[in-house]
Amino acid sequence: MEYYNYIKSLHLIFVVTWFAGLFYIPRLFIYHIEAWQKPSPDREILADQLKLMSKRLWYIITWPSGILCTLFAVWLLILMPQWLSQPWMHIKLLFVAFLIGYHLKCHQIFKQLQRDEVKYTSRFMRIWNEVATIILFAVVFLVILKNAFNWIYGTVGIVVLAILLMLGIRLYKRIRDKNPNA
């Protein structure tokens, strides 16, 4: 148990870096999708640069962070097996499963864009970008509040957060439509 705090610290560091990658990769997807609306040669120059940026972010930061975060989490669960009997941990692991699914879907989108296959709109990507935010809020509140977590307030809070994020996306779209350089 003397290593517990070191393992927990490493887990948290890689949670932060994993989320950093998951927050930024959809932004790069948005820029990549919007680059395809530019005239040539801007389109190709931007697309090539965004592919390189995405590849570096994805393979140098996001994937390694996700793997290391998961390995340290498993190590923590081995050290603290009693957590697996806690209801808050079951819900947290469900959100972690959603996060892994989100990561894998981002990987699919990443691969499509690397092949110059644009299958989504920038608006969809702006909404998609907020999924990680919602998962982060849910997991942090679960971990901090544990058994004191009030499911009614927690559920309402996540729904309100999602609504606010969607309203923010709509507001940004209006601002951007009025001023394309915003």
pLDDT in the model for residue 173? 78
Q: Tokens representing 161?
A: 């957060």
- Answer yes or no: is 105 a known binding residue: no
pLDDT average, residue stretch 106-135: 94
- The answer, as to whether pTM is greater than 0.75, is yes
Please work out, in degrees rounded to the nearest 5, the angle formed at the alpha carbon of residue 96 by the alpha carbons of 29 and 61: 45
Alpha carbon separation from 73 to 6, 81, 96, 181 (Å, rounded) = 12, 11, 11, 42
> How many domains does the chain fold into?
1
Q: State pLDDT tens for residues 127-162.
A: 999 999 989 988 888 888 876 556 667 777 777 888
pLDDT tier for residue 120 given thresholds of 50, 70 and 90: very high
Range of the domain at 173: 4-178
- Answer yes or no: is 103 a known binding residue: no
